[in-house]
Structure 1
Amino acid sequence: MPEARSSSQDLMRWKKKPPVRRTVSQICPPPRRPLTVADIRPGMENDRLGVVRDSMFQNPLIVKAELGKPRERSSSLPGIDFNYGLYIRGLDGGVPEAIGHWNVFKQQPTCPHELTRNYIVMNRGAVKAGLVTARENFNYHQLKDIRISDQDDRRLKREPPSLPPNMTFGIRARPSTPFFDLLQHRYQQLWVQEQKATQKAIKLEKKHKVTLGPLYETRSSQLRKYKPPVRLDALWHMPHFQKVGPHLDTFPTEADRQRAFKAHREECAVRQGTLRMGNYTHP
């Protein structure tokens, strides 16, 4: 028996323990409240000598962090009865009221308004009573103040507009295209006929158009088109800028001059280039 108990205890010991479920407050603990004089114990980091006030523990420059604890915050938290989040005043009953009842807004009381005077009835009664002057009518209106009821006033002011019974609201739909006209190419035939009629009308207009004969030039038309010639005088040049003939002629005859110019033109390609050795294109 003792051996059986020890074996069962070993099995239970080696079994994997179930994970411990932690609450939200354990996972995300609420922020710590600021320290007070009553929370200070001997040996703590914030233990001080002399006069100690609660306001001293709300100064982040004075408060020291306790060993193994998060740093204290100087801001004070609201009381226990404070609710975080948005408070909706229309649903005070919570979930049961939201499920079992409709949130219906109460109709606001309408402010009393003054009824419109019925001058037709009052004037008719004044005439029947023999009252004609303005003063008598005013006194009669003050004595017998007849008003139009709400129902009659509403009926007179808000009469529905008179609309025809067969009136269609909105945009009128386009008539449907006949399908047989599409199969028979009716629209193409109509277009061809319209083009032929247009061409025929243009031809008739050209036919009935009066053709004028050739126009002859008259003296007045020629004078109208005539432009007198403008004499372009040579520009005036200063005497010392005029071209002066050569004072020295090195060629004995004109033939020698032309031969020299011809030789110069033939040797022009050889005397060009960077080194004056000619420009040649090699393959």
Structure 2
Amino acid sequence: MSSPRVGVVRDSMLTNPLLIKASLGQTRSRGLSVPGPEFTFGTSNLLRDGGVSEVLSSWRVQSGRGHSAPHQPLITDFVSLNRDAVKSGLVTAKELSQYRAQKGEDSSKIPAPKQQEGRASRRPAVPDITFGVTTRVLSPLSDLLSHEYAHRWMDEQLSRNQTSNHKKLQRIKPGCIPDTRTSLLRRSKALPITQTPVKLPRFIHAAPALDTFRDQEARLQAVRAHHSDSVSRRGVQGLGTYSVD
């Protein structure tokens, strides 16, 4: 028995990319649905300026107003509350919150700002702000008559020239051989030992258990060689600490 769905063209066949086949001489469809004729592309314009587009698209009737002004909700004026709290000597957050709870409900109520339809609300301008560039402080007349600025400019130029000359002297001349680790070792000398190693009292007078030197002269010679060669083994990383003359 055959299925009743065999040979029936369904709407799902037009959206499934695995079932869509290209027509002769045409590209294969993507299977995307297109909105109907009632769909309007673009964004809606909320600007109501009384232009031609508003007249053609809608019929706006001005609502009748009574003799009384429209009622606007009242909001708390936190600026005046904070100003009065500071004048009263309250500066901490806890004191300000308590002051607002006591005085905020009784006074300091202002009407809420009215927002224009279709436009972003503008923030109220700060009364103590000044737009533009601040004016430069006037120069004292005594400094102008005594040529103080000219002398200051001359001093800056002289100091700049001295700095440039000092940098030129510090540059390595061509043909000069730079110092290496070997040359630094030749001119270095061992630093004096400031701290003596800690010795336990029971080991101060103890004799050595093994003596590998032939005589006392050989021992002193080995100690002097070890002391002269210890310069390159000092420091935290064992690379040596040098004091160049």
Q: Same fold (TM over 0.5)?
A: no
Of the two structures, which has the highest relative contact order with CA contacts closer than 8 Å and spacing of 6 or more? Answer: 2
State the TM-score, normalizing by the size of structure 2: 0.23
Report which of the two structures shows the higher radius of gyration computed on alpha carbons.
1
Per the normalisation by structure 1, the TM-score is 0.20
